[in-house]
A and B are shown apart, each in its own frame.
Chain A
């Protein structure tokens, strides 16, 4: 049963040389390539963030000019949102895990999957090009008229093409995931035998397919408005800038759920496996993913409460926004109930997930302040908003991403990372994260607007705390990366087939899986039935004893 016996025949060694990677249609290699590029974009966006925080050490700024600061925060936001947070979990981890979890050989359309990767890569390269041609200083939200003014130069056009391409990558991934889940499930695997990570990816894919085209259209219209003055968004040609905001948020609010739903999927997997108990309220968690995906389409107007939108529209959007809070609350309570009377194992993925509960709690609850009109009007576009969405997009999503990378690392690489390094990194990330963003809530409440290159001196103390926090957070991330990469060295411990005692199908494959994933196509199983798993001594993982319940 040990993975080492088959190590010579894994997907990593099936075909050698750069060409065999660049032209691969194997979902596992594509997932690994995504992971590499996505971590690269995280590092790039992180370097921008550190530069921003250093600049804000003094109230008067001073490290860089206002214009440079504006370019830095724009690229930080755009790179992190479009290249890291949105594709991060679905494209990197989803690609690797999804076919394994349904017991398939690959995704439904492997070549489309490779195309999707190169579209994403092209989008990422174009973002780097905008950096070279002088940067972009519009904010990641790209609001016209500012973004489409002549003075913005080439950067905006290149960035819009980049957004367009990255969007298409996202759409194709969504199509692939939906087709795979519908058509390639293992024999006997019904919809309610899907691991919850797949329900999350399925709900995500629906949003990717329905919302992302609007982003593509908006980017294309912006491009044409800039070149041909169609009169869509620019008042000087007869257009309306608020129309752009409607288009933009019709995508970008559901995009928040493209980010958070897969994160919730990882949390569902990890909390069950490391509590040794079936997930509590499986159907409620699965259906709440779909509920979030559907209601998430109807709340975009809450980004525009002070845009001049009618007060009745504001009230309706506020009401619908509050409804989204409920499925998120349902998930949280079900996760906690899963731990009740469990046998909780505090390994790295679980430690990350425990910190996720607190951070997602803050992120979700502070969302209420921004969904309620009487509090959004004062807080809108202040640092309170910055802190809120970092709690959701960075805190919750990035931490779930880290949990997922650690969780599936043995499957992806066939190696076990060092637990002490992993747990230490989780604690450092948690502390650094809170130190960075809690002070931003406070300055936001006191009235400090966002996207400010300079600020009132009263806010300096909190800003300095935030800067220190950013470096602690960075230390945690570097430690996590180090712990993972070190396991790839000669000394890295070999991973068994099932190191965590998980019951879903990917753990029946070798670590790392063979090119074909499974030597014998598996039958569907109950993904959260741990009763037949027994732990072997040492680092040999878990094996099945007795007969598994067939789904």
Chain B
């Protein structure tokens, strides 16, 4: 998508729809904050400019009015009034904004959040969808809360969809998240908003929002190539790197006798660490534990794990794989992967 179809109507023509269309669950809230700030600013500015003009006209030094009139040179009461009123106004907006912001970064409790893994590089995006399909554009389902788990393989990028009013930097060396619930079907531009070199302004992709699950599934099934899904990439890396020599994946902690902790059922839990402290067993913890194994060692184990040089995609894959080791939650991912394998076999058979 080389050209971005953003609506642009002129603010000065008095149209209020100069904002891009609203296509996510938080867009309306963000716009309300924007518009309240806009009107607070417009009134304040009109006041400043109006008072300036009136004073200059009335109190201009001219023949017959060469000296100032007597007036006080300070007033604590006035100072308090014009400190407190702006303070109350901005604090009111801050409180309202905080609600919208919470909705931007936290999924509602109990929401079924799908995860798309994103890796960015100069100057393209790659999206690994649940079920294993990889694409240069992201595909979502209308109304489905989705988390983009993002990492960069080179410099910092930033993923921005104006119609969603959402943006998140994509950083090398750590995962960042962007949570979105699309409320409009259609295609929306993804642009890079952190400067990343020569083709920064052409680092575009499309966010395709499907109207329903069936439409999404149809897309997900069509033309899936021979690429391994992320879960498969992870499982393969786990085997190739010999991780199973120390880490059990089928027996929970206590029933295994591994040199390292069992990885079964651990996803999302809290680890007690050597030297005190805890760590949430999430994407960034897993990544750090593979890249810098000594950084956070689980209590009861020795700091003996060697560091592994893995591709970002293998790391993402391992994370996706570990998520399938929890009964219940990650199962979908694996099952969908299985389904696709069957589909491929069918295609091959034909």
Contacts and interface: CB of A to CB of B under 8 A. Distances in A.
Nearest to A239: B173
B74 A284 contact: yes
From A308, A443, A462, name the one whose CB has the most chain B CB atoms within 10 angstroms.
A308
A332 B292 CA distance: 53
Interface stretch (B96-104, B264-272, B336-344): B96-104
Given A344-B59, A346-B56, A378-B162, A146 B156 contact: yes
A453 B198 CA distance: 9
A449 B74 contact: no
Interface string B131-158: 0000000000000000000000011101
Interface in A83-122: none
B201 A454 contact: yes
Contact of A330 (B6, B68, B82, B100): B82
Nearest to A240: B173
B202 A368 contact: no
A143 interface: yes
B156 to A, nearest CB: 6
A358 B45 contact: yes
Interface of A is mostly: helix
B52 A235 contact: no
B279 interface: no
Contacts of A447: 4, 6, 20, 160, 162, 189, 191
B30 A377 contact: yes
A314 B101 CA distance: 10
Given A311-B101, A378-B166, A361 B68 contact: no
A332 B4 CA distance: 40
Interface stretch (B33-41, B110-118, B211-219, B226-234): B33-41
A344 B59 CA distance: 6
B98 A340 contact: no
A68 to B, nearest CB: 10
A138 B194 CA distance: 11
Contacts of B8: 442-443, 446, 458-459, 462
B278 interface: no
Contact of A282 (B3, B34, B73): B73
B311 interface: no
Interface string B161-205: 010011111011110100000000000010111111111111000
A377 B166 contact: yes
B93 interface: yes
Interface string A417-446: 000000000000000000000000111011
Interface residues of B, number: 90
Nearest to B173: A235
A239 B291 CA distance: 12
B61 interface: yes
B244 interface: no
A145 B170 CA distance: 12
A415 B37 CA distance: 46
B71 A277 contact: yes
B56 A372 contact: no
B83 A340 contact: no
Interface residues of A, number: 91
B201 A66 contact: yes
A315 interface: yes
Contacts of B162: 378, 446-447
Interface stretch (A7-15, A318-326, A467-475, A505-513): A318-326
B349 interface: no
B2 to A, nearest CB: 9
A380 interface: yes
A374 B101 contact: yes
Contacts of B104: 373-374, 377
A455 interface: yes
B301 interface: no
Contact of A277 (B73, B101, B292): B73
Contacts of A354: 52, 56
A446 B18 contact: yes
A315 B71 CA distance: 43
Nearest to B38: A369
A443 B9 CA distance: 10
Contacts of A311: 101-102, 105-106
B207 to A, nearest CB: 13
A343 interface: yes
Nearest to A277: B68
Interface in A120-177: 137-139, 143, 145-146, 149
B94 A333 contact: no
B86 interface: yes
Interface string A367-397: 0110011110110111000000000000000
Given A240-B174, A380-B167, A449-B191, A339 B97 contact: no
Given A145-B156, A326-B87, A368-B37, A442 B195 contact: no
A70 to B, nearest CB: 7
A457 interface: yes
Interface string A301-322: 0000011100100110011001
B304 interface: no
A300 to B, nearest CB: 16
Contacts of A306: 158, 167-169
B59 A308 contact: no
A315 B20 CA distance: 26
Nearest to A149: B155
Nearest to B295: A238
Interface of A: 66-67, 70, 137-139, 143, 145-146, 149, 235-236, 238-242, 275-284, 306-308, 311, 314-315, 318-319, 322, 325-326, 329-330, 332-334, 336-337, 339-346, 354, 357-358, 361-362, 365-366, 368-369, 372-375, 377-378, 380-382, 441-443, 445-459, 462, 528
Interface of B: 3-8, 10-11, 18-20, 26, 29-30, 33-34, 37, 40-41, 44-45, 48-49, 51-52, 55-56, 59-61, 65-75, 78-79, 82-83, 86-87, 90-91, 93-94, 96-98, 100-102, 104-106, 154-156, 158, 160, 162, 165-169, 171-174, 176, 189, 191-202, 292
Given A341-B70, A447-B160, A458-B8, 17 more contacts: A145-B155, A146-B155, A275-B68, A322-B90, A322-B94, A326-B86, A339-B55, A341-B69, A343-B61, A372-B33, A372-B94, A374-B96, A375-B33, A442-B10, A445-B18, A456-B4, A456-B6
13 contacts: A143-B194, A146-B195, A280-B72, A282-B73, A306-B168, A341-B69, A344-B59, A358-B45, A372-B94, A442-B8, A447-B189, A451-B200, A456-B5
A-B interface, 10 closest residue pairs, ranked by CB to CB distance from nearest: A447-B162, A235-B173, A452-B201, A365-B41, A343-B61, A374-B100, A456-B4, A381-B193, A373-B101, A146-B155
